[in-house]
Each structure stands twice: as structure tokens, then as C-alpha cells.
């Protein structure tokens, strides 16, 4: 089955840039979506279709893809950005289904 691989954790100092990677086979051919989940809360969509931001998501959140990796970039990181981040896509193979990455814990130092 299709697998999305994320690093378990990323640490960054306030004001710096955080990059969270999501790797998957031929991910360039698929649309990747990203969610932020703070403790005790439901996930919130922060990017869809690789790099589009929903209304209300700061411009500091951006997305890109290269090769077999999608990247969520958070510029000028703030303490309030600390959360778990998940990538997700729709795998349209012979048995279509949603795939989530394992999640990355972003720690703001």
C-alpha cells in the first residue's frame, strides 16, 4: 500500500524557518494536503493542493514539491505554531483511498 513518510520531529527557534518533509512514491503526480493539530484539538487544514492556503491561514505557511518529496515551509516561526503536522493525499489506484503521513511534531525552541 502507498506510504507517506514524515520525520517524527522538527525543532526550530522562533523567527526562523521550519521545513517539514513528506515523502512518497511519485508524489509529484498527486495533490498533497497539510494539517496542523494542536494538543487536544481537531486537525486544521493549512494547505491544500500542494501550496494553496485556505482563508485565515497566514502567508507564513507555504508548500512545494520536488521529486518524491512535498515540503511544508513555515517562515518566521512563532511559539503558537508548535503542533503536530500531517500530510495527506488521495491515492487513486486500483483500490482508491486516503493516505496520511505519520505526522511530524514541530517544537519551537
Q: Which residues bind other proteins (CB under 8 A)?
A: 1, 31, 33, 35, 42-45, 48-49, 54, 86, 88, 90, 92, 95-103
Shortest reach from residue 47's CB to other proteins, in Å: 9
Q: Is 108 helix (H, G, I), strand (E, B) or coil?
A: strand
Rounded distance between C-alpha atoms, residue 69 and residue 104, angstroms: 14
Rounded distance between C-alpha atoms, residue 39 and residue 67, angstroms: 32
DSSP letter for 46, please: E
Q: Identify which of residues 15 and 94 has a Cβ nearer to other proteins in the complex.
A: 94
Shortest reach from residue 75's CB to other proteins, in Å: 22
Shortest reach from residue 1's CB to other proteins, in Å: 7
Q: Identify which of residues 61 and 86 has a Cβ nearer to other proteins in the complex.
A: 86
Rounded distance between C-alpha atoms, residue 100 and residue 103, angstroms: 8
Q: Identify which of residues 14 and 45 has a Cβ nearer to other proteins in the complex.
A: 45
Within 10 Å of residue 29's Cβ, how many Cβ atoms?
A: 10
Amino acid at each position: 500500500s502507498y506510504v507517506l513518510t514524515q520525520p517524527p520531529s522538527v525543532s526550530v527557534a522562533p523567527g526562523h524557518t521550519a521545513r517539514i518533509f513528506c515523502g512518497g512514491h511519485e508524489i509529484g503526480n498527486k495533490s498533497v494536503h497539510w494539517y496542523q493539530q494542536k494538543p487536544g484539538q481537531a486537525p486544521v487544514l493549512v494547505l491544500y493542493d500542494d501550496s494553496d492556503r485556505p482563508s485565515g491561514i497566514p502567508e507564513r505557511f507555504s508548500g512545494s514539491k520536488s521529486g518524491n518529496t512535498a515540503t511544508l515551509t513555515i517562515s518566521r516561526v512563532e511559539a503558537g505554531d508548535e503542533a503536530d503536522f500531517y500530510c495527506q493525499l488521495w491515492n487513486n489506484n486500483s483500490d482508491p483511498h486516503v493516505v496520511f503521513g505519520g505526522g511530524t511534531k514541530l517544537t519551537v525552541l
